[in-house]
């Protein structure tokens, strides 16, 4: 039986991790760096998965995706700020009971704004990439300014709940607790996405709609509503990613969306636009590279992503998992 799964890109992640092991030297430092890199990669993946859904399924280049990230993070500052007793407690359960509603609220708000964004910004420009880039950029400017109107233009701290702070010892390696949580959430999101897209009727319809929209409509499904749902889900994922990213950075600024945008784009280009697995591979590679270079050659940390992207594009100019169209 011929396997149609392309394992090469997935193998890149462990290969990269093993390649740097001799350079890092101490195995415990390596474990710390690798877990940190994977955690960062997972958070980036959560954000990027929303965008890759929107692009891959709807063929919309959303340059305003960053604004949902910032929105999610700012909603979380408000929710967590109001739940001081719960975040201040050192019981992990009570912390989770504070973080979960914050995540839910962030996803709801980002999803709702995503609905409006699709209606007023994106819908008039379906099928025109140039206009999509311009108009979603405009949408991001407006969103960022509105965030400044509501929460103010300054940086807001978003401290980790007390129970999630600190490190765990795995052998000699110190691993921050929050990074483990991030890895778990990331795996959950990835599994859920993959399951929905490949194992459910909803996923089947979405994939069929991408392949041949008219045929699916002729079969009596309202593909239009399905696609709006995809956009809302993508925005909600960005909101969730924004909460995770904000907790990771421990502070939020209105411009964070634009900053993270650059990272997500690199991830999507590496992964191949529209591929969920590609986004995961890209995000993990970017996360690992950032942490390894940050430790080995700090001056290079910012360019490591770009060098990585260039290397991948020389190998596969369409990204590691290119969509066939």
Partner 1 sequence: MLARLLSRDFPRSRVLAVLLVAMLIALAVTPFAIPGVKALNVAAKVLVFMVLVASFDLLLGYTGIVSFAHTMFFGIGAYGVSIALTRMGPDWSALALGIAAALALSFVLALAIGLFSLRVRAIFFSMITLAFAAAFQTLASQLSEFTGGEDGLTYKVPEVLSPSFDFTLFGRDMDGRLVCYYLLLVVAVVLVLALLRIVNSPFGRVLQAIRENEFRAEAIGYKVVVFRTTSAILSALFATLAGAMLALWLRYNGPDTSLSFEVMLDVLLIVVIGGMGTIYGAAVGAGLFIVAQSYLQDLLRIASEAVSGLPWLAALLSPDRWLLWMGLLFVLSVYYFPTGIVGRLRSRAAGHQVTVRQ
H or E segment to which residue 170 belongs: strand 167-170
Q: Which residues fall within 8 angstroms of residue 45, CB to CB, at 6 or more apart?
A: 186, 189, 190, 267, 279, 280, 283, 284
Of 178 and 265, the one with the shorter C-beta distance to partner 1 is 265
Residue 260 engages partner 1 in binding (rule: CB under 8 A): no
Q: Kindly state the smallest distance separating residue 171's Cβ from partner 1, in Å.
A: 35
Residue 137 engages partner 1 in binding (rule: CB under 8 A): yes
Of 87 and 276, the one with the shorter C-beta distance to partner 1 is 276
Of residues 115 through 134, those in contact with partner 1 by CB under 8 A are: 121, 124-125, 129-131, 133-134
Of 204 and 313, the one with the shorter C-beta distance to partner 1 is 313
Residues in contact with partner 1, counted by CB under 8 A, come to a total of 40
Radius of gyration from C-alpha coordinates of the chain: 20
Q: Are 69 and 245 in contact (CB under 8 A)?
A: yes
Among 266, 280, 283, 285, binds partner 1 (CB under 8 A): 266
Q: Which residues fall within 8 angstroms of residue 165, CB to CB, at 6 or more apart?
A: 177, 178
Q: How far apart are CA 143 and CA 121, in angstroms?
A: 11
Residue 139 engages partner 1 in binding (rule: CB under 8 A): yes
Residue 63 engages partner 1 in binding (rule: CB under 8 A): yes
Residue 213 engages partner 1 in binding (rule: CB under 8 A): no
Q: How far apart are CA 180 and CA 36, in angstroms?
A: 9
Of residues 275 through 304, those in contact with partner 1 by CB under 8 A are: 299, 302-303
Q: Which residues fall within 8 angstroms of residue 181, CB to CB, at 6 or more apart?
A: 164
Residue 313 engages partner 1 in binding (rule: CB under 8 A): yes
Q: Kindly state the smallest distance separating residue 149's Cβ from partner 1, in Å.
A: 5
Q: Kindly state the smallest distance separating residue 102's Cβ from partner 1, in Å.
A: 24
Residues in the chain: 325
Judged on CB neighbours under 10 Å (0-12, 13-18, 19+), 150 is exposed
What 8-state DSSP symbol labels residue 7?
-
On the CB side of 206, how many CA atoms lie within 13 Å of its CA?
27
What residues make contact with partner 1 under the rule CB under 8 A? 61, 63, 121, 124-125, 129-131, 133-135, 137-139, 141-142, 145-146, 148-149, 153, 258-259, 261-262, 265-266, 268-269, 273, 299, 302-303, 305-306, 309-310, 313, 317-318
């Amino acid at each position: 039986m011929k396997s149609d799964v392309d394992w090469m890109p997935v193998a890149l992640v462990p290969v990269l991790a093993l390649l740097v092991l001799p350079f890092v030297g101490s195995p415990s430092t390596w474990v710390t760096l690798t877990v940190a890199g994977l955690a960062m990669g997972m958070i980036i993946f959560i954000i990027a998965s929303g965008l890759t859904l929107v692009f891959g399924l709807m063929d919309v280049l959303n340059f305003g995706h960053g604004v949902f990230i910032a929105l999610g993070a700012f909603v979380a500052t408000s929710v967590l700020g109001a739940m001081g007793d719960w975040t201040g407690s050192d019981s992990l359960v009570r912390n989770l009971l504070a973080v979960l509603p914050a995540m839910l609220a962030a996803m709801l708000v980002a999803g709702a704004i995503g609905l409006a964004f699709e209606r007023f910004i994106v819908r008039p420009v379906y099928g025109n990439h140039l206009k999509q880039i311009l108009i979603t950029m405009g949408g991001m400017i407006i969103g960022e300014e509105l965030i400044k109107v509501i929460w103010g233009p300054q940086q807001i701290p978003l401290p980790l709940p007390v129970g999630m702070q600190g490190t765990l010892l795995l052998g000699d390696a110190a691993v921050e607790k929050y990074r483990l949580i991030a890895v778990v959430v990331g795996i959950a999101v990835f599994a859920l996405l993959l399951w929905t897209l490949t194992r459910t009727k909803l996923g089947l319809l979405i994939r069929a709609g991408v392949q041949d929209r008219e045929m699916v409509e002729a079969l009596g499904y309202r593909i239009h509503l399905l696609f709006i749902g995809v956009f809302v889900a993508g925005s909600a994922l960005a909101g969730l990613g924004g909460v995770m990213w904000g907790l990771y950075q421990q502070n939020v600024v209105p411009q964070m969306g634009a900053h993270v945008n650059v990272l997500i784009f690199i991830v999507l280009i590496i992964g191949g636009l529209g591929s969920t697995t590609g986004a995961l591979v890209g995000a993990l590679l970017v996360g690992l590279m950032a942490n390894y270079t940050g430790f080995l050659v700090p001056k290079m940390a910012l360019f490591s992503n770009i060098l990585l992207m260039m290397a991948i594009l020389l190998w596969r100019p369409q990204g590691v998992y290119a969509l066939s169209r």
